[in-house]
Amino acid sequence: MKRHFSFPEFFLVGSILLGCDSGPGPAAGGTPGTLKFGDAVTSDVVITVRKANGSSFEVVGFGTTQQDGSFVLYKPGAVEPLFLEPGSYSCTLESVGPPLKLPKDYLEVSRSPLKYEWTADSKSLDLTAPANILSP
């Protein structure tokens, strides 16, 4: 006796065999970097990177620190890696994990002390903020 599959059974078996695709996954990261608070590090800090454009700054990407303070950069939306091009950059910080008392200077691009001049020879965006930011 031959068994015939109904459409729902055929669809279910096909879905299991092919897997479900929920669209593109996160992109592999681009430019690597580290964020240190003195000699200390923390996870879950978003670094927003803005490129100087005359007297203003344009958001070009972001990274989120891991437990060791490392991050990789992504373009907005995290669908493509961000590889920095030579130029002047300013970074702001935002905690998305443990609460940090970030001074306003680190929240506003025009006042941020986290400035960086990226060259063709640069390999890593290494940023340092004061250690007392991590103090309770």
Q: Which domains are assigned to the chain? A: 32-134 (2.60.40.10)
Q: Is 122 strand, coil or helix? A: coil
- pLDDT, tens only, 53-105: 988 999 999 999 999 999 999 999 888 999 999 999 999 999 998 888 899 99
pTM: 0.78
The strand ranges marked E within 16-121 are 32-37, 45-53, 56-64, 70-72, 87-95, 115-118
- pLDDT, tens only, 86-100: 999 999 999 998 888
Q: Using CA atoms, how far apart are residues 75 and 59, in angstroms rounded to an integer?
A: 9
Q: Using CA atoms, how far apart are residues 79 and 65, in angstroms rounded to an integer?
A: 18
Q: What percent of the chain has pLDDT over 90?
A: 65
Buried b (16+ CB within 10 A) or exposed e, 15-30: eeeeeeeeeeeeeebb
